[in-house]
Amino acid sequence: MTLSLSYLRPALIVVSLLTALGFIQFTLYNFDNATYNPSIPWGRLGSGAKEKRPNLLHPPPRLRTPLTIVTAASENHLCALEAFLYDIDRVYAQMGFDRKQALASSLESKQGDGVDDDDGAGSGLESKARGRSRRMRIKSLKRLEERIRNGQRYIESSADLAFLRQHTKSDRHRPNQGKGSGRKRVHSKEDGAEARIQKRQDEEEDEQEERDADDEDEDDAEDEGALDQDVELNDDDGEDEVWPRLIVYNMGMGIKLRKLRRFQALIQAGYIDELYDFDFDKHPDFWRLGTATRGQYGWKAGIQEEVSQRMLAQDQNKVQAKIDHMPASANARLGKSKVLPLDLAKNSSSGPEDLFSSSSHPQTRDAPQEQQASKQHQPQILLWLDSGDRISLPMLRWLPTSFSLRQLGVWSPQSPDTLHKWTHPGLAEYFDDSLDKFEPDETNCNGAVIAWDLNHRGVRSINYHRDQTLSGNNLFLDWIACAKDEACIAPQGSSRSNHRQDQAALTYLIKKQFNITTTPVHESQDRICFGLPDQFGMLANQDKYCKESIERDPSHIISD
């Protein structure tokens, strides 16, 4: 008996130690891999964040830079998109923006963007934003209704068809919701007779509403250019933040009735500022999602290219408006036409805004003092987020201050593992190069989170280049051109087991262009593609936790 106890005691000690070690390892694994956490401790960021990024712990008190958030989703990622929209709405609420109140205000008026002159610049900005969102929702719902009509054989009953027709009415016909009532919950059943009566009563008004929306759509460029000017004016008042714009690309919601209802409800609730259908016919065939390769994820670059072109077109409208009101001392540079030359805009050191700096023309008595002051670079940020990402307000406010975004025009956090593990050698061979020059532990960029400053000197020329060829000195253009060539973005022999398509191309081009292998970008740790997302106050790849996230959100609008 004594012998047995002498052997048993060490065994119990070993088992206890192994159990404790396993528990500790499980806890650390969950934290390091950023598993689902409904209350992310933004105040306690990733390990070493206090020493590496003190500016992230004390971000600017307000977001003062125009910022456009872009994401995309298909029918297989609708759950992730819904959770993403709720998360963005939570961040907006922390900034002081109430989408419910803005939507209710837009429903009260038939003119979406009509407002009295006495309301001031802030009210005009809100009115233009409401009008634009309203027009985008009407157009999106019209497209969805056409798809449903083409696939009627999949609709289970006439009551379901009546429900869809009723809920694809314009926003004006939805009942007004009081401040305390919250968003209207969409139920799974609807009275077919009542829907048919409502349809008859509203049919003529709907047709007129859609005609008005089509007419307003012709003036979208001018409206959005004016909106940008209002944003700039609002930025100078020292009080309000710049409201980020949220763009969602529909990659195909299929014909399942339940998912179409869900998507329509999100649109009508006002969670999306602008919605676009991705036109696969205008892009390379291998981008289509109906294959195991998921289009080689090249469509991510295509979406960002489309959004950047629209953003820069709006910026050009704003610059032209400034040219029309230039002082007489600057007229000599532009001549009688007062049109901004493309070569002058392209060769400007910090964008077309240089025309109005003190270095662009000498000080004269004709030029007001405020126009003689030097104009600083005005960033215009495009932030791509996968629908599985979750961000925080400190991260959003910090982003414009990022060293790599200010100096290089691009920012992306680090993704797990190394460049060598997730980049096929064929990608470097496409550029007559080799991966051997990179360090064994060279970090990866993160294709799920990418920020571009479209007014940066190395990025803004996308508006003037149309040949889609590799330029060798423009990261944004080269990345897009690579994404359009399957031999570049997905070289022969590559797969998801050894290559990360768009992310691999982005990582290689960043590391190559900025020569990070030999020259540090910055003396501190604030380098490009360095630091996992949680160190910046955000989480990535949370798709699998979307149901839990939706159930925990008190504002979710749909019950299954």
Q: Which positions ≥6 away from 18 have C-beta within 8 Å?
A: none
Q: How far apart are CA 508 and CA 511, in angstroms?
A: 5
The pair of structure tokens assigned to 197 is 């009566």
Q: How far apart are CA 354 and CA 523, in angstroms?
A: 30
Residue 400, burial from CB neighbour count under 10 angstroms (0-12, 13-18, 19+)? buried
Secondary structure E strands in 192-330: 245-250, 274-277
Q: How many residues does this entry show for the chain?
A: 560
Amino acid at 375: K
Residue 187 lies in a domain: yes
The pair of structure tokens assigned to 68 is 């456009």
Indicate the helix (H) or strand (E) that contains 531: none
Residue 167 lies in a domain: yes
Residue 193 lies in a domain: yes
Q: How far apart are CA 68 and CA 295, in angstroms?
A: 24
Determine the longest span between alpha carbons in the chain, in angstroms: 108
Cβ atoms within 10 Å, residue 551: 10
Q: What is the pLDDT of residue 249?
A: 97
Q: How far apart are CA 136 and CA 213, in angstroms?
A: 9
Q: What is the pLDDT of residue 365?
A: 34
Domain tally for the chain?
A: 1
Q: How far apart are CA 325 and CA 369, in angstroms?
A: 15
Residue 206 lies in a domain: yes
Concatenating the DSSP letter of every residue in 253-289 gives --S-HHHHHHHHHHHHTT--SEEEE--GGGS-GGG-S
Alpha-carbon dihedral angle through residues 528, 533, 534, 539, given to the nearest 10 degrees:
160
Q: How far apart are CA 380 and CA 310, in angstroms?
A: 12
Q: How far apart are CA 363 and CA 372, in angstroms?
A: 6
Q: How far apart, in Å, are the Cα atoms of 47 and each of 24, 50, 161, 249, 533?
A: 16, 8, 53, 35, 12
Q: How far apart, in Å, are the Cα atoms of 41 and each of 304, 437, 534, 538, 543?
A: 31, 39, 10, 10, 19
Residue 197 lies in a domain: yes
Is residue 171 a contact partner of residue 107, using CB atoms and an 8 Å limit? yes
Q: How far apart are CA 98 and CA 90, in angstroms?
A: 10
Q: What is the pLDDT of residue 103?
A: 66
Q: What are phi and psi of 260, to 5 degrees?
A: -65, -40
Q: Which domain holds residue 205?
A: 97-240
Q: Strand pairing partners for 249?
A: 72, 276
Residue 308 lies in a domain: no
Residue 515 lies in a domain: no
Low-confidence ranges of the chain (pLDDT < 70): 1-7, 23-58, 100-239, 315-377, 458-473, 515-527, 558-560
Amino acid at 12: L
Q: What is the pLDDT of residue 443?
A: 92
Residue 58, burial from CB neighbour count under 10 angstroms (0-12, 13-18, 19+)? exposed
Q: How far apart are CA 131 and CA 243, in angstroms?
A: 15
Say if strands 274-277 and 245-250 run parallel, antiparallel, or are unpaired: parallel
Residue 120 lies in a domain: yes
- Expressed in angstroms, the distance from the first to the final Cα of the chain is 62
Indicate the helix (H) or strand (E) that contains 509: helix 501-513
Q: What is the pLDDT of residue 106?
A: 58
Cβ atoms within 10 Å, residue 470: 18
Q: How far apart are CA 285 and CA 295, in angstroms?
A: 8
